[in-house]
Structures are given as C-alpha cells and as structure tokens.
Structure 1
Amino acid sequence: MILISQLELPSSKIGSWTTLYKNYLEGNHNIDYIICPEPETKFETVTYQYTSNNFIDKIKSKIYKKSHLSALSALKKILKKEENYNIQVVDNFKIVPDIVTLLQEKGFRENCKIQFFYHGFPPFLDREKGEQFFKNIDEMVLLTKDSYQAHLDFYASVPCKFSILPNGIDTSKFHPLETLKKQQLKESLHLTGKNVFLWCSQDRPKKGLDIVLELWKKNSFPDCILLVIGSSRNENLPGVSFLGRIPNSDLPQYYQVSDVYLFPTLCQEGFGLSLIEALSCGCYCIASALGGVPEVLHYGKLGKLIANPNSIPEWENAINEYLTLSENTYKLPKDLYSFEEWRKGMNHIINESKIF
C-alpha cells in the first residue's frame, strides 16, 4: 500500500484529510509506504520516500513537461516487478496520468491498482478530461453519496469503482458537556447568560463570514454573542469576539461552550469537518444547503438547512427560530461520524482493493 501526498505527513498545516491520516497512521493502519515532502516528525510504522521541489527539480519538470518528477522518481524506487501494489492518491488529479504512463512503461500497470480520494464535492474535471481520468484509475473514493450522484449526472461514462467514506472525528475530544459543566465553562470564558454562537473557518469570501457579521451589525440579537475563530480581523462589533487562530487542541472547548454553530458556506463543500465537530459537541447547527452539507445533516434531521445561503433574511429567520426553541431537538446518533468508523471504512476500502 503506497500513499502519495502533496503535503508532508504528519502535516504542520491544519486540514481535514491530513488530520484524518495523522490519526489513522498513529493506530491500526494498512499503509506500507508514504511518498511526500519530508516532515519534521515521522510515523515509525511506515517507510518514507521523500519528494522535493528545489530549483533543479523545477528545471527538470519544465524540460520533461511533468510537474511531479520527484514523486514519480520516489515511486520507481519502491516498485518491484514481482510485487502487487495499491497506490492511493489524495486530491492530486494532475499526477495520475503520469503515474499511469510510468506503470505502463515499466510493465507494472497490471500489478497496481490506483485509488483516488477526492475531498471536494462537484466534478473537478471537464467531461472529456474527466472520462479519460476515470479510465486511468481503478477506484474513486468520495465523501458523500450526493457527490457520487453529481459525478454520474455530469459524466456520460464513469468506468471505475466508486466508494463513499464520510469524514470522522475523535469523539473522545469532541463531545457534549453536561449542563452544569457547560455553565461552568461559560462562566470561565465570561459568557454566562449568553446564547453563544460560533463561526470557525479560514476567512475567505466563500466561507460566508460577512453574511454572519452583517446580522450582528444590525444588533438583532442583543442577548447573543458571536465567537469568530480563524479570522485575523480586528473589527469592533458589539456582541462579536474575534479570537483569531486557535490551536487544534483548544478547539473542543469552544464548540462545547457554544449553543449554535453557523456554517454559512457559499461554495459546494465536500463535507465540512467543523460541522460534525460542532454536532458532536451538542451544538444546534445552521448551515448552507450546498454541496455535501445536506447529506451530512441528513437533509434537515440533524440541523437547520438554509436553502438560499446568500440571503441574509433567511439566516436571520433561522436564528430567531432557534431563539424561540425550548431545547435543541437535533440529536446526533452515537458513532455516526466517529473516527473509529472512518478507520474501519478506510481499512475496508484498502482490503477490498487488494490484488491477490
């Protein structure tokens, strides 16, 4: 089993799939080799081949018109003709044709299966390139069934296996607090007596923070406070607290202290890891009905979906609706999005793809 990653693993950068692979590789896993840039720390249970992107590599890539020569060179060092391999690629569409060419030139294609993990939602390639891409791989792994349906609707032919593997989180860290403990946490963070709303993401226009801030500028919710995590803005808005970037280890307490999680994405999210972190901590979730989000929220059974997320009045109405409720009626089934279920799913996908 060979994993090819554009990012070092474990990664110093925050990301849903890098976090999942870190947790996976620290426990029971089925990966033998990782091809990636050299990380600061290493997993002891895998063999590494490192990629580089220095000046010489860039020159070679221009000459040979291949942007992944370093990864291909690392792959060649691993492959042996008498062995069978499963090659797992994460989100890197461009490298796949080069891998296929290498395997064909070396006579290894029949010895290898290529699994492609896609963490977006909509079809990434145009119809012509996409249909050729699916001929090159053996399996595409998506986050939701709705994404699979979007691919079926877009492409005339998808001649490879498809599997679905939803994201998972560490439920030992992300879990709800008992009422008294939540009150004590609110008190320690100076949030006593407030309805606490949370927005947590990278501050890019497509993440919808401006939609939420527009509501608080209207001062429509006087007994509510909005916590903003992940934004470096320094605006002085009544009822809004900009907390900047928070270490991953500290995030659970902010979900746990919050009553409502706002997920106003303006793009077709593949899944939304922060959404299930909030759900697992007992938050009432209000989210855009885009991409994989409706499936994650079981089409409204686990949270409030906003059909027109660019419409500020729809968000205002949804928040006011929450404020009239006596309790959060949305309950997350046990282990629905747990990391252990993700691990089982990953190991199943790997075992099913083995060449005997």
Structure 2
Amino acid sequence: MISNLGLPYQGIGSWTYEINHFLANNASIDVVLSPTDQPNSRFIFCKKKPWHKWHKINRNYFLKKWVAGEYIQALLKLGEAKHPLQILVIDDQVLLEAVALIKHRLPPGSSILFYYHGHSLSWSSSLQEKVDRVLFLTEQGYLDTIKNLERFTPRVHVLGNGIDPSLFFPISESVKRERKVEMGWGSEDLVLVWMSNSRPVKGLHLFQQMIPYLLEINDSIRILIIGNKESVSDHPRVVQAGLISGEKVAYYLQMSDFYFFTSLWKEGFGLSLAEAAQCGNYIITSANGGIPSVVSEYPRCTLIHKPNVLEEWIEEFRSILEANNWKTASLANEGSDFYSLEAWEKRLLEILNN
C-alpha cells in the first residue's frame, strides 16, 4: 500500500479511519509505504518531496528521482525478491504516475491498483495502460469517467466507503431530547447540522448566507456547524463545534434532525452523508458528482439540482417542514448495507485476493 498520509493515521480524517481499521484487522497488506511516525518492518517511512521550479525541464526524471524518489527506491528494493508486487496506491495521482513510470522495472506479473477518492478521472492513454485496476467510490464516478474520455482501459471496481456502525447509529427520540437539553436547547428544538471544512467548494459561504433565512422559518431551529474554525455567525441559535473527533461527530449527528451538505463540486462520495444517514438525519444535499449514488437508497433525502441558487435550499427546507412528513417511525437507514464498514472491508479483501 502506498499513501501520501502517514499510516496508521493519527489525526482526524475521512478515509483514513477505514484504512486504519483494515490494516489493523487484515494481513493482506504486507508493506505500507507512507510518511509514518511508527516505522517498522511493515510500515516503511517514505515521504514526497516538493517540486522544484525547474521540474518541467524533465518532469519524469524529477518525479522518479526526487518527488517520489523514496517510494520508488522502496518499491525497487521490495522487487529484488523477484516476487510479483501488487501495489495499491491510495488516492495520490502523482505517486501513481511515478509508480507507473517504473512498472517495467518491477518483477513480471506485478500490478498497480488505484483507490480513487475523487469523482471522475482524466488520464492519458499511457497512464491507463500501466494501471491494472481502478477502485471508484461510486458507479457514477466510473460512468462519468468513460463518458468524458474516448478510451479507458483499466479494470474497474466500485468499492465505496465504510461507515463504522459502532459509532454511527440512530438513537431513541428520548435520548435525542436529553442531548438537546444538555446543549442548552429545548428538547423539541429542530437541529440542523452543516459539516465540512471552509474550502469554497464545500459551500460554507453559501450556507452562511442561508443562516438568517433558515432561522426565520421557525424559532425552534438551532444550527450546529462542525469542522470550520473561523466564526460564521454570532447568532445565539448558531453553535460552532470546530474540528472534532469522529466520536464527537457521531454524538452530534445522532442528536440532529437535518443535515445540510452544500458541496459545490463533483464529490467522489461525501462520507459525511452516509454518516448522517446512519444516524437517521433528514438530508438536504446538492446533486453533485457521486452524491446521488450515495443516497440513492436512503428515503429521507432531498437533492438540490441548482445548488448555487440560495432560494432552492431555503424553499425546499420550508416545504419539507410544512409537509411535516420528514420524520418516520424508524430512524435506521432503510437502504442496503453497502456502506457499512464490514461490507466495505469484505469488498476490498475480494479485490485484493482476485
């Protein structure tokens, strides 16, 4: 396995949680190359170096010898045993390109797999021919890739993401009411969660403009913003939780009623959508990228097809409240278990073993 993030990952991340879980519970990955802070015989320290201004003179040379040099040296050393290598590159297309450039120097029968956490790909023919398999997050990501390219030659799997059911699960209405009171709110207040970082593509600036209109709809509405560090609103009914652990994220999602996902780019997956669904939230989300695939089997969801139009979100939310049918007797995700951690782990094992 090759990663540009140190594994096992010690910080707060999205896909890193499931990768940590997989590495801890499966022996299928013999060696991990990453900027690890726990180096040993299995976890080997390798780190990308920054590009120099002159790298365009001979890009491939600097890619192999400098930017991804430590990874390439480690791979070639592993190849000295003359056994075919199965190389799983996690998300980083620069590292993938570097590995592809030296594939001919690896033992015969070696293969390259790429686990892509974006939506669709745009690759040259030469790179396609050296990558044996691509693991997409959604089927739509694959379909958009072949739609946008004249040719796409690797074998494809749809792997998705895995949600830990021991963290993300619905709680009873009585416990939800207790948690709201603990937050200083009324037990019957409606809690709206927005969660991501402050990058423009995540739409925080859009949600920030929505806040006054959302709060006007009903005096019982409370808004909780997770992930962003900068102040968004000083309104007393808006709380900012900042960057928090996965356990705390689950705590808040279990307590909340609505989840707003204002992504303004082609999402590969939108992991928080599946987390919010597993906790029983009603989801209001843009229809960008792989998002429709992620929520396709979740009934308490509304897709916004014009996500840059502020009024679309506000009026849709107002209509949902007026219809008063957003709650159901069951809070569990009625969809399949495709996005459970166990199912994801099983799919990855099958891919690696076939």
Write out aligned runs for 1:127-138 (5 A): 129-138=123-132
Q: How many Å separate the matches in 1 of 2:300 and 2:124? A: 34
How many aligned positions are there? Answer: 340
- Please give the residue correspondences for 1:76-155 in structure 2 after superposition, counting only pairs within 5 Å: 76-104=76-104, 106=105, 108=107, 110-123=108-121, 125=122, 129-155=123-149
Deviation at 1:316, TM superposition (A): 0.7
Asked if 1 retains the 8 angstrom alpha-carbon contact of 2:194 and 2:224, the reply is: yes
With over 3 angstroms needed to count, the CA separation of the structure-2 counterparts of 1:172 and 1:300, relative to structure 1, is closer
The one-letter code matched in structure 1 to 2:196 is S
Q: Percent same amino acid among aligned pairs? A: 29
Instruction: Please name the residue that 2:180 is paired with.
Output: 186
TM-score, length of structure 2 as denominator length: 0.89
Cα distance in 2, alignment partners of residues 147 and 52 from structure 1: 29
CA distance in 1 between counterparts of 2:335 and 2:297 reads 15
Question: What whole-Å deviation, never above 9, does each CA across 1:309-342 have from its counterpart, x for those lacking one?
Answer: 1111110122112212244258433633210001
CA separation of 1:266/1:198 partners in 2, compared to 1, >3 Å: closer, same or farther?
same
User: For 1:27-54, what per-residue CA distance to the aligned partner results, in whole angstroms no more than 9, with x for missing partners?
Assistant: 1341100011122x46x8x712211457
1:203 match: 198
Match in the other structure for 2:315: 317
Q: CA deviation at 1:118?
A: 0.8
Q: Which residue in 1 is equivalent to 2:74?
A: 74
Contact 1:196 1:224 in 2 (8 A): yes
**Distance (whole Å) between structure 2 residues aligned to residue 311 and residue 79 of structure 1:** 54
Is 1:279 aligned with 2:277?
yes
What does residue 230 of structure 2 align with? 233
1:94 deviates by: 2.2
Change (3 A) 1:86 1:317: same
The corresponding residue for 2:343 is 341
Tell me the distance in 1 between the aligned counterparts of 2:203 and 2:14.
19
The DSSP-based 3-state class of the residue aligned with 2:347 is helix
- Other structure's SS at 1:26 match: helix
1:249-304 deviation line (CA, Å, top 9, x unaligned): 21111001100000011111100111111100010011000000011110774511
1:6 matches 2:1: no
Deviation at 1:233, TM superposition (A): 2.3
The one-letter code sitting in structure 2 at the alignment partner of 1:152 is I
Among candidates 158, 168, 174, match of residue 174 of structure 1 = 168
CA deviations 1:143-172 (Å, max 9, x no partner) are 011111111111111111011011111011
Cα distance in structure 1, aligned partners of 2:47 and 2:281: 42
TM-score by structure 1 length?
A: 0.88
Counterpart Cα distance in 2 of 1:295 and 1:188: 35
Separation in 2, partners of 1:347, 1:98: 25
Q: What is the one-letter code of the residue matched to 1:231?
A: N
Question: In structure 1, how many angstroms separate the alpha carbons of the residues matched to 2:106 and 2:2?
Answer: 20
- Going from structure 1 to structure 2, the CA distance change for 1:33 and 1:204 (only over 3 Å counts) comes to same
Deviation at 1:107, TM superposition (A): 5.3
Q: Which runs of 5+ in 1 are unaligned?
A: none
Q: Mark the CA change 1:180 to 1:301 in structure 2 (over 3 Å): closer, same or farther.
A: closer
Structure 2 stretches of 5 or more lacking a match?
Answer: none
Q: Is the 8 A contact 1:216 1:238 kept in 2?
A: no
Counterpart of 2:98 in 1: which secondary structure?
helix
Match of 1:270 in 2: 268
Describe the shift of the 1:326–1:203 C-alpha distance in structure 2 as closer, same or farther (beyond 3 A). same
RMSD: 2.4
